[in-house]
Amino acid sequence: MSSTVSNERDVFYHNVDVLEQRKKGDIFYSKNGLLKKMSFVRKLLFVASKVFYSSYFNQVQSNLKDTINWVVNNSKVGDKKVVSNFFFNKLAPLSENIYDRSQIQGKTLSVLRDSLTEENSQKNNAKKLSEFNEEFLDAKLATYLGVRPVKPGVGNSESYILKDINHRKVGIFKTSTGDSLSRKSPFLPLRIRNQFLYFIGFGGSIFKHVAGKCHISEVASYKMAKKIGSESIPITKIVKLDPLGYRRGKGKETDGSFQLFVPNTIEAKEFLNVNKNYVKSTKPKKRRIEKKLPKPLAEDLIINDVIEGNMDRHAENWLIKANKRKAKKIVLIDGGIAFSPTHANSIFETHKLYRWATFKLKFAQKRFSPEAKIRIKEIYDNRFELKDDLNKVYISNGDKEYVASKRANRMVERIEMLHWFANVKNLRKYKLRSFITSRQVQKARKDLEKSEQKKSRS
């Protein structure tokens, strides 16, 4: 051990000083428990060893991880601001290969959690955190400590799967600024594409009113589902978060929707043995009997989608909790492209709406059950209350009043169409594809009005 560092306490403060003075691009190594900055030549050799001498590279990283974890475990709580700055700004950018966030325990973890709670209580968000059973706080804390969020894949919005410090998936954050359909997208190629598609009128209202509001639609989908007694959509709220806070220090937060993650599920396409667009495989080796999807679950999916006008319910955007061959619960995710202020009149929209309404799927071949018809009638009777609630969700989150009003009116019209479809005509579910455009929906509503007039006369 170095003569200048004689005891454990000195080692600790030496290592803390090294970490606090860390600059972007610095690489450390550990020697006898002491952190040291690599010289330029040593850095080149270290990087090269990853390819040519992996055992040396792994040994250096292992020693470094042990030392950093030792520093974390021996950290004592002093000034809260100093502790927060050290963990959120100095340690957070470190790779997860050399810094295990799950080592943060006890009083240190409590202080860090409290620092976020105090910030949110000052912004009157404490109630929101309690409704999430502190799940959001766990995800936010882990993100700012440097647990990297994961992008779930290709989608229309900039979304991140957030984890806690033990790497348990907690929820999905969808930013308000990263919508790839928005004409104000921060990504220049997408912004140019969307401006062009909007100019030529492609996509109906998608590029005009749906894009840029996907995070609000996520929350609206959850609230409307809750109003009609459905538990298929996980709890979703508008929150403030910087999903890349570990790179630049917390503080540059943006609005977005946060939806709790539901574990132990499989995608519907796997359960139904179809592809993303509900087309069954024709290859003999992949043929399997379609597993059983109970009627109440299938009807819950359909009722939710008609109310939302969801244009993105492909077979990867709803999940199933199953026991052997039978589904126990469905989980509807990705409700961002919903509640359009116009009906689906363009080819781009009609192609996307009610994709599951195909005769090839067993649950779509059947008529609505008596229980579902009663439920649809109750929703129909309460449609104007739902209209007011939807209006409030969009207006309170910054949408224009006249646009929010149009969204609510279109929802009411879809509910009226669904009531006519199920309770007046008693049609098979796959025929919903014939009631998508404004003209088709209005035709159904006029027929409903006539049937109600006949009832009132009799």
184-234 residue pLDDT tens: 666 667 667 767 776 666 666 666 667 678 899 999 999 999 999 999 999
Q: What is the 8-class DSSP label of residue 429?
A: G
Q: Which residues contact 79 (CB under 8 A, 6 or more apart)?
A: none
| 175 SS3 class | strand
pLDDT at residue 336 tops 70: yes
Q: Which two tokens stand for residue 199?
A: 């100019």
Q: How many residues does the chain have?
A: 458
Lowest mean pLDDT among 54-58, 225-229, 374-378, 438-442: 54-58
pLDDT at residue 425 tops 90: yes
Phi, psi values for residue 220, rounded to 5°: -60, -40
First to last CA, the chain: 99
- For CATH 1.10.1070, list the domain ranges present in the chain: 264-458
Q: Which residues contact 19 (CB under 8 A, 6 or more apart)?
A: 35, 68, 71, 86, 90, 91
Question: How buried is residue 328: exposed, middle or buried, by Cβ count under 10 Å (0-12/13-18/19+)?
Answer: exposed
CB-based contact 223:392 (threshold 8 Å) = no
CB-based contact 225:310 (threshold 8 Å) = no
The pLDDT value recorded for residue 128 is 44
pLDDT band of residue 286 (cuts 50, 70, 90) is: very low
As a whole number of angstroms, the distance between CA 438 and CA 413 comes to 9
pLDDT band of residue 3 (cuts 50, 70, 90) is: very low
Phi, psi values for residue 377, rounded to 5°: -65, -40
Torsion of CA 414, 415, 418, 422, to 10 degrees: -170
pLDDT band of residue 180 (cuts 50, 70, 90) is: low
* H helix intervals, 78-204: 80-85, 106-122, 126-131, 135-145, 188-199
| 355 SS3 class | coil
Residue 61: HSE in the Cβ half-sphere, 13 Å Cα cutoff: 17
Q: Which residue has the higher pLDDT, 448 or 288?
A: 448
As a whole number of angstroms, the distance between CA 265 and CA 320 comes to 5
Q: Which two tokens stand for residue 181?
A: 């359909």
As a whole number of angstroms, the distance between CA 127 and CA 182 comes to 31
Lowest mean pLDDT among 11-25, 242-256, 325-339: 242-256
Where are the extended beta strands (E) located within 178-253?
A: 236-241
Residue whose token pair is 């995608």:
267
As a whole number of angstroms, the distance between CA 320 and CA 162 comes to 21
Mean pLDDT computed over 40-51 = 89
What pTM does this model have?
0.87
| H or E element in which residue 440 lies | helix 438-457
Q: Which residue has the higher pLDDT, 206 or 87?
A: 87
Q: 264-458 — its CATH code?
A: 1.10.1070
The pLDDT value recorded for residue 299 is 96
pLDDT at residue 6 tops 70: no
Average pLDDT, the chain: 84
As a whole number of angstroms, the distance between CA 209 and CA 198 comes to 10
As a whole number of angstroms, the distance between CA 108 and CA 77 comes to 6
